[in-house]
Amino acid sequence: METFNSEKLSSYQIDHQKLVTGFATYTDAESYAAKFGGKVVEIGFRDGNDNPEITSDGRLIEKKLHYFVDAGPEYRFIHSSDSGFRHYLKPANVYEIAVLLPLS
């Protein structure tokens, strides 16, 4: 059953491939990959960087998680709608599940 919301997905181009992000669950990413012939990968946005890098640092695939924030030992988790969110985002490493597809 298809549960991913295509309107909430974002895409990037990386290494001559299309990288699709924004999945609500790990299972949604798996379904999308199966439907479009892609591969589930983990990406990281490190130190506030807006450019994703393929990584395994967050161990999301191993844990079957779709999202993880490593804010370090002194952390405070806040929602993106909270005031001051951008201030706290900069030092964090954000890991997310994505699907890597060949460019059409």
The tokens for 1 are: 């059953």
Give CA–CA dist 48/64, Å, rounded. Answer: 24
Q: What is the pLDDT of residue 33?
A: 94
Q: pLDDT at residue 75 above 60?
A: yes
The model scores a pTM over 0.75:
no
Indicate the length of the chain as a whole number.
Answer: 104
Closest among 52, 32, 51, 33 to 42, alpha carbons compared:
52
22 contacts 60 by C-beta, under 8 angstroms: no
Q: pLDDT at residue 20 above 80?
A: yes
85 contacts 79 by C-beta, under 8 angstroms: yes
